[in-house]
Structure 1
Amino acid sequence: MALWLYKLGRFAARRAWLVIVAWVAIIGLVGGAAALFMGPMSNNFQIPGTETQQMADKLQAELPAASGGTGSVVFTSTNEEPFTAVQKKDISAALETVTTVPTVKAVIDPFVTTAAQKDGAAQLAEGTKALSAGEAEAAAGKTALDASAKELAAAKAQLDAGQAQLDAQKAQLAGAPEAALAPLEAAQAQLDAQKAQWQAGQDKLDAGMAKYDAGQATLAAKKAELTAGQRTADATAGLLFVSENNKAAIGQIQFSESMNAVTPANRQLVQDKLNTLESSGVTVSYSKEIVEDVSALFGASEIIGVAVAVVVLLIMLGTFWAAGLPLVMALVGVGVGVGGTMALTTLIEMSSISPMLALMLGLAVGIDYSLFIVNRHRQQIRTGMDMRESIAKATGTSGNAVTFAGLTVVIALAALSVTGLPFLAVLGLAAAATVAISVLIALTLTPALLSLIGRKIISKKGWAKNDAATAKHNATLEGLTDSEKATADETADIARSARGWGGLVTKHPVISLAAAVIALVIIAIPATGLRLALPDGGSEPVDSSAFQAYSITGKNFGEGMNGPIIVVGSLPAGLDKSSATELNLDVADQLRAVKNVKAAVPVTLSENLRTAVFQVIPTEGPASESTVQVIHDLRAQGATIATDLDVTIGLTGQTAANVDVSEKLGAALPPYLAIVVGLSLILLILVFRSILVPLLATAGFLLSLVAAFGGVVAVYQWGWLGGIFGVENPAAVLSFLPIILIGVLFGLAMDYQVFIASGMREAYAHGQDAKQAVRTGFKHAAPVVTAAAIIMISVFSGFIFSHLTMVRPLGFALAFGVLIDAFVVRMTIVPATMHLLGKSAWWLPKWLDKILPDVDVEGAKLTQLTVPDDASSLQAETQFEQESESAR
């Protein structure tokens, strides 16, 4: 690897313009592709196969009208007084204009809805009153009918008795003369007349009973209607659109497409339509869904972070040429990596965090990787090494370490694909690709530009100071043999290595190690309370519209209105509209019985009466622990609902999706951590040909990790130092932060481990005592690692105040993690422990030593090459191969 990189660096130095033109062409192609094919980004963190995604797909197929996105608008009176009639009218008129915005399907006017609710309540009251009157009238009618029936029954009995008596008389006078029968015939005629009168009365009674039965049926239907209406009113009692004090109102904007598909232009157009209300004395605040714009990557805070990195480079390197080169390399890497990522957004659904993470890492590692090579080159040319030979050797030595360090970052990020979370896989691959490009740029474009810059890489003042020091050094060693000079140089180097931080740590290794470990354990304590969730409006900046909408909603309508839960029910076949409505109300009753549920409202029903949608309002906000429990309790209640009502339910919506994503991410964390830790052990055993050094590096990484978690929990979940970091509303930690932090911090920790430990190994391989090799290697690596860590911390810190809220805790976690890992673990714990271990730190079983390839990551063998610029590359390569063969 060292020889191949040596040849690559030499080629880039000799063919500088060819390399530069090639990269310019690549930038042009990537930039053109990004401009032509860049699509919208999203913050859609759905995971295929989860219940929330299955229910969302079901709604899309069976109730597409209910599958579009929804955003809320909160109206308040500017003078904090109740709304006037004019203000209400103006708000309704402004909402009506919003329907002209493309992709807006409908609006829910809070005042119209509230008026409808009041009208419905009034109609219920009137209907109940009318029903009571009708029931009283029916009861009175029934009493009269019963009395008539009783009278008719008595009359019927008399008629029957009279007929029986008359029939008996006729039987006695059978065969008598007609004159004797005449009175009986007259009596029969009178009785028949009475029967006819009775029949008329009976017919009237039957008609009255029929009318009564019809009236009873009507009253029963009316009663059922009123009962259903009352149940619906009871279900919606906890769902308000205008606050009880009439000082706040919530309107809703319903879109025909998902919120992720709504363009920034249409979001802005909605705001433009409603911002006209300011002239009416109405303040308008928009929910996070409406104001969120993930189209911009860079903000002022990110630029400040880069500016700090530039200052560090200037202080360290002392010239604009040297300081500007790593920065240019980082910008080129970011341009190609992020540009390529953006060009794929039309083909791949990509969250806004993906290019942001690529940008963050690309800037940090791009500066660092180029800096390592530039720093090595500057050291070499100060000793008189030929310019191009120095470039080649710097690429073969420091470039070798850069390659391995970059490889660890790439592998750690690419390993996010094994979690089974699509958006996380895209995020990891995008960042890994950007880091890989940064490595390629450091190994090719950096040598090319170093060749063109030449001696300007060191300032005139620096050259003068170097010449004076060289002359003084030569005068000191004058008259000594080469062997004596080498011994004197080594003695001086050993004396210098005993000074500074490395000397202090190795003089008191036990105290240093104990103090560092105890400090990290204390910092890590808050990590035991880690809770995961996705961001909501409460995590936005306190002066943002989204935060204002969130807080006003919570204050006036309850926190749960900020995070409604959507329940999708599958109803049995064969129901009519009335039965389906009644069944939905039964389901809503059971949903409302769940603890911490404030309201459960049937929202809509499909045309085939098989799919119903309910909106459940929890008591607290979407990221609260109680709402997470409500999600679980609702799903548990589903079994009871299925048994009692033959209705199967499932949950969807952003609140349920956030819980599912957070739990999936939490479940993916242990196996991913195991993969990363296992990978670190294998790679470091290969690199350092040691068992204890990889174990120490991995243990240090785990310490850095838990301490970084502790810092994040303390600031973003507990609110410590919240005023400094802009955390006005502490809440659960970003759900995918831990898994990203593991991948990124692992790679960066291995970067510093390689640059620190490779110098120690090189000194040990060249014959120094193991304990002294720790000091020597630390002295040579510490300055550049310190600068690199400060640069990386500066870049990451710039994202702590990003305009994208979800990036902020990630920027803090990475900056704090690098701070701990670089200065506490790699520059305190590692040298202290390795000094205590001594020679045993480099122990490796003989059988393992035989089968492991020698990757020579520190390029120790390559440093023996001394080939002038006009000598052939073949001579250099032959010398390297011969020395390598003899070493074996």
Structure 2
Amino acid sequence: MFARIASVSARWPRTVIALWVLLLAGSLLLAPKLPDHLTSEGFSIPGSESAQASERIRTGFDGFYGQTLTVVLDHPGSAAGDAQFTGKLQTAEKALRDEPIIARLTSPASKGGESLADEKNGRVFIQIDMDATEKEARAFIPVVRDKLRSAGLDRDGFRFDITGSPALTEEMNEVSLSNVEMVERIGLPIVFVLLLLVFGSVVAALLPLLMGMFTIVLTLAVIYLFTLYMPLSSTLTNVVTMLGLGVAIDYALFITQRFREELAKGSSSASAAILSLSTAGRSVFFAGLTVMASLSSLFLPNTMFFRSIALGGLVVVFVSILTAFTLLPALLTLLGSRVDRLRIPFAFKSRSGSGFWTRFISVLLKRPALFLTIGVLFFAALAWPISKLEMHIPVAAFQELPKDSEARLGMEALTEHYGLGESFPVKLLLNTNGGSATGAEALKTVDRLTRQFGDKDGVQQVVSLTSVYPASPEQLAAAYQAPDRLPAEARAQLHSLLSRGGRETVLYLIPKEGPTSEKTRALVREIRAELPSALPGGYSGQVTGETATGMDFDKQVTGSLPQIVLYILILSFVLLALAFRSLLLPLKAILLNGLVTASTLGALVILYQWGHLPSSTAQALNVGTPVLICAILFGLSIDYEVIIVSRIKEAYSRGQDNRSAIVEGFTATTGMINGAASIMVVVFGVFLFAGFRFVQELGVGLAIAILMDAVIVRTVLVPASMHLLGRLNWWTPWNHRTLFPKEKKPEGKKSPKAV
């Protein structure tokens, strides 16, 4: 199969390249459109308690709109109620009033908008409610900014910031793009230098880099087409960049290196391209399939966030394989021996025979049990902190944006005025199931819940139907029959407390700490545990809010972890069994990968959860980090396993004994694997400087994992364990020629001539 695929590119290289150029041209038109179609949302679990309650509040209560922007107008040293502020507010309202997308515009000058004035800090807030989609709201942000600037709201010592969910999403997308640009600016030059050291040739070094860039552009274009039919998370652009550069460059490196070896043996360029794809290409194919299989496990949690990353990962790995199997052989065929043009004098020399790696493997194979024991003990020592692992999704994480971010500055102004707890309250939706929420019996229940939950240590106050207007339930029931007679403050809050049908009410529990704190999370757990017994018969209640939404997301993800791990293990075993034609080697590979994964998570606990990495704050890991580390690492680690074991298998199949086959396969691939691993470590490690902590955790974790995998697992544990297993490496309980049929290798003399 691999020879037939390669022969197409080898026979018609110019046609294949022309088709790829056309594909790239189309991709360059589509890829830039992707950021506008991505969202920072995706953490609400459909059907969960928090999602159901949130949707009922949004659709059943007045005052809740699809999207909201807040303009923060600031003038240090001025009072929020003076003439200058009043004039600016009137100007702003006049500038925005006629915009059809705006459903409601509220400011301190509006009826019931008094709380939007921050007298203490000389600020006012203008709330823009819209019946619009997130995409429409994001597109409206520059319109608001231009209109306010034209109206002079940034003059005379005034300044304004625009914040709210659409603004936060927009800036998070911008940070994601800046992460990609950072990799291009810092990572790519380092990667090119490493490729120069590996190949010793400028032309050869450029080929893998070219494959990586082609892969990313085409992947982003394909994902843009998917966004036309489904919402996807902005995080996938960072994951696509990580995997696209790491995987595509590695695959191209392996095939290009094998092509050069075949040329050195006297093969023509076309024959060398076909032989390279039949050998190294076969390894790349199974390695890519394993990565894709691992990434497909991310569909199991059934969340938009993980679904986005799974889709992006699958597309980028598939495109990496596609470029390695079509475009790269075509380029190699045309280049031929010119692939070694522009040689440099300081590159690594091939070390074989009596070289460094031969001496190293000779020492290792004399005491394989000792080296294996030391390696396993090292991983066990590094993995122990995993027993202290804490993980959850950070909610309302606007503080992850850069400190000078407009949306972050605006949110900080809001939370300074209202407090974190009031900005992100815990919401208790009470349903009378057919009764009246303003009846005396219902109000007794509301009053009891208000007192019961208001007395908890983590609660600052409770805003409910019985707290905004202090009176007995019977008096309140009568008062709510004529709401126009209520005090202005109580009347202003009624729309957010009572549903339009009057059968549901919301209690807002204002926590003392922020939505991500453990105290607030514990508060949600307590309320959910106590609520069923606190309600009278026929009543029901649900808890929602940012904290509850995050906890439901955590529950969904952690509940899916066993299925994810089992899925990865089974598929990895099957694919490796097909690749190695062995049953024990896949088991050994899975065990070693498990050690690397556990050690990586242990290292992340030390660096991020315990805060021992400079500039990091001690806090729980993002719940997505362990899941993605497991899924991505299991796939990537197999890359190197397949490469080295396949070369050992080649030597063993030619009649060499186990030890000689290990030595030949090890010396032929270790330098190349270490070079490829160095590239991945650089690509992943650059994300240490990313704008989001989650992306930092993922990048640093993968960099550590690949480093340990290449230096310890592939260099020490794989050859040591294979030497100890001996002939058992290739054991199967069945006839392996029947179960795992070999693919016939092409003969060079039958290959097409060089073009």
Task: Give the one of 219, 226, 232 matched to 1:337.
Answer: 219
Aligned to 1:802: 690
Structure 2 CA distance for partners of 1:781 and 1:286, relative to 1, 3 Å: same
Matched, 1:425 2:423: no
- Within 5 Å, which residues of 2 pair with 1:571-582? 571-575=432-436, 579=440
Counterpart Cα distance in 1 of 2:412 and 2:360: 49
Letter in 2 for 1:346: L
Letter in 2 for 1:620: E
Counterpart Cα distance in 1 of 2:365 and 2:105: 70
Matched, 1:48 2:46: yes
Letter in 1 for 2:745: L
Counterpart Cα distance in 2 of 1:711 and 1:96: 53
SS at match of 1:298: helix
Per-residue CA deviation, residues 456-515 of structure 1 (Å, 9 max, x unaligned), is 20026589x99xx99xxxxxxxxxxxxxxxxxxxxx955447646544543443443333
Structure 2 CA distance for partners of 1:251 and 1:517, relative to 1, 3 Å: farther
- Within 5 Å, which residues of 2 pair with 1:382-781? 382-459=264-341, 461=343, 495-496=354-355, 499=358, 501-535=360-394, 536-545=397-406, 558-561=419-422, 563-575=424-436, 579=440, 584-602=446-464, 603-643=496-536, 647-723=539-615, 727=616, 729-781=617-669
Aligned to 1:853: 740
> Which one is further off, 335-344 or 528-537?
528-537
SS at match of 1:49: coil
Letter in 1 for 2:454: R
Counterpart Cα distance in 1 of 2:648 and 2:189: 33
Matched, 1:267 2:149: no
Tell whether the 8 Å contact from 1:685 to 1:691 is kept in structure 2 after alignment. Answer: yes
In the TM superposition, what is the alpha-carbon distance from 1:807 to its structure 2 partner? 2.7
Per-residue CA deviation, residues 156-200 of structure 1 (Å, 9 max, x unaligned), is xxxxxxxxxxxxxxxxxxxxxxxxxxxxxxxxxxxxxxxxxxxxx
Task: Give the one of 210, 213, 218 matched to 1:328.
Answer: 210
In the TM superposition, what is the alpha-carbon distance from 1:680 to its structure 2 partner? 1.9
In the TM superposition, what is the alpha-carbon distance from 1:855 to its structure 2 partner? 4.6
Task: Give the one of 2, 9, 12 matched to 1:12.
Answer: 9
Structure 2 CA distance for partners of 1:249 and 1:710, relative to 1, 3 Å: farther
Aligned to 1:477: none
Unaligned runs of 5+ in 1: 118-239, 471-491, 874-888
In the TM superposition, what is the alpha-carbon distance from 1:589 to its structure 2 partner? 3.4
In the TM superposition, what is the alpha-carbon distance from 1:105 to its structure 2 partner? 4.3
In the TM superposition, what is the alpha-carbon distance from 1:102 to its structure 2 partner? 6.5
TM, length-normalised to structure 2: 0.84
Counterpart Cα distance in 1 of 2:383 and 2:85: 53
Aligned to 2:482: none
Aligned to 1:21: 18
In the TM superposition, what is the alpha-carbon distance from 1:339 to its structure 2 partner? 0.7
Letter in 1 for 2:400: S
SS at match of 2:262: helix
Counterpart Cα distance in 1 of 2:102 and 2:388: 42
Counterpart Cα distance in 1 of 2:257 and 2:389: 40
Tell whether the 8 Å contact from 1:387 to 1:451 is kept in structure 2 after alignment. Answer: yes
Counterpart Cα distance in 2 of 1:506 and 1:519: 19
- Within 5 Å, which residues of 2 pair with 1:86-101? 89=86, 96=93, 100=97
Structure 2 CA distance for partners of 1:278 and 1:659, relative to 1, 3 Å: farther
Tell whether the 8 Å contact from 2:248 to 2:324 is kept in structure 1 after alignment. Answer: yes
Tell whether the 8 Å contact from 1:305 to 1:799 is kept in structure 2 after alignment. Answer: no
Structure 2 CA distance for partners of 1:844 and 1:567, relative to 1, 3 Å: same
In the TM superposition, what is the alpha-carbon distance from 1:630 to its structure 2 partner? 1.7
Tell whether the 8 Å contact from 1:604 to 1:614 is kept in structure 2 after alignment. Answer: yes
Per-residue CA deviation, residues 288-326 of structure 1 (Å, 9 max, x unaligned), is 763332545532322122222122112222333211211
In the TM superposition, what is the alpha-carbon distance from 1:775 to its structure 2 partner? 2.4
Counterpart Cα distance in 2 of 1:662 and 1:248: 39
Aligned to 1:829: 717
SS at match of 1:609: coil
- The percent identity for this pair of structures is 27
Letter in 1 for 2:253: L
Letter in 1 for 2:429: V
Counterpart Cα distance in 2 of 1:305 and 1:599: 50
Tell whether the 8 Å contact from 2:371 to 2:717 is kept in structure 1 after alignment. Answer: yes
Aligned to 1:221: none
Aligned to 1:217: none
Counterpart Cα distance in 2 of 1:683 and 1:539: 39
Tell whether the 8 Å contact from 2:53 to 2:543 is kept in structure 1 after alignment. Answer: yes
Tell whether the 8 Å contact from 1:111 to 1:241 is kept in structure 2 after alignment. Answer: no
Tell whether the 8 Å contact from 1:712 to 1:813 is kept in structure 2 after alignment. Answer: yes
Tell whether the 8 Å contact from 2:379 to 2:599 is kept in structure 1 after alignment. Answer: yes
Letter in 2 for 1:862: K
Tell whether the 8 Å contact from 1:341 to 1:430 is kept in structure 2 after alignment. Answer: yes
Tell whether the 8 Å contact from 1:687 to 1:855 is kept in structure 2 after alignment. Answer: no
Aligned to 2:257: 375
Aligned to 2:238: 356
Letter in 2 for 1:301: M
Counterpart Cα distance in 2 of 1:719 and 1:86: 49
In the TM superposition, what is the alpha-carbon distance from 1:374 to its structure 2 partner? 0.7
Counterpart Cα distance in 1 of 2:128 and 2:34: 28
Per-residue CA deviation, residues 66-90 of structure 1 (Å, 9 max, x unaligned), is 25344667777757x9878567657
In the TM superposition, what is the alpha-carbon distance from 1:357 to its structure 2 partner? 2.0
Structure 2 CA distance for partners of 1:576 and 1:439, relative to 1, 3 Å: closer
SS at match of 1:569: strand
Counterpart Cα distance in 1 of 2:193 and 2:680: 13
SS at match of 1:776: helix
> Which one is further off, 343-352 or 416-425?
416-425
SS at match of 2:655: coil
In the TM superposition, what is the alpha-carbon distance from 1:254 to its structure 2 partner? 5.0
Tell whether the 8 Å contact from 2:37 to 2:224 is kept in structure 1 after alignment. Answer: no
TM, length-normalised to structure 1: 0.72
Letter in 2 for 1:437: V
Counterpart Cα distance in 2 of 1:371 and 1:759: 15
In the TM superposition, what is the alpha-carbon distance from 1:604 to its structure 2 partner? 2.8
Tell whether the 8 Å contact from 1:594 to 1:634 is kept in structure 2 after alignment. Answer: no
Letter in 1 for 2:513: E
Q: Which has the higher helix share?
A: 1
Unaligned runs of 5+ in 2: 465-495
Matched, 1:862 2:745: yes
Letter in 2 for 1:849: H
SS at match of 1:533: coil
In the TM superposition, what is the alpha-carbon distance from 1:701 to its structure 2 partner? 0.9
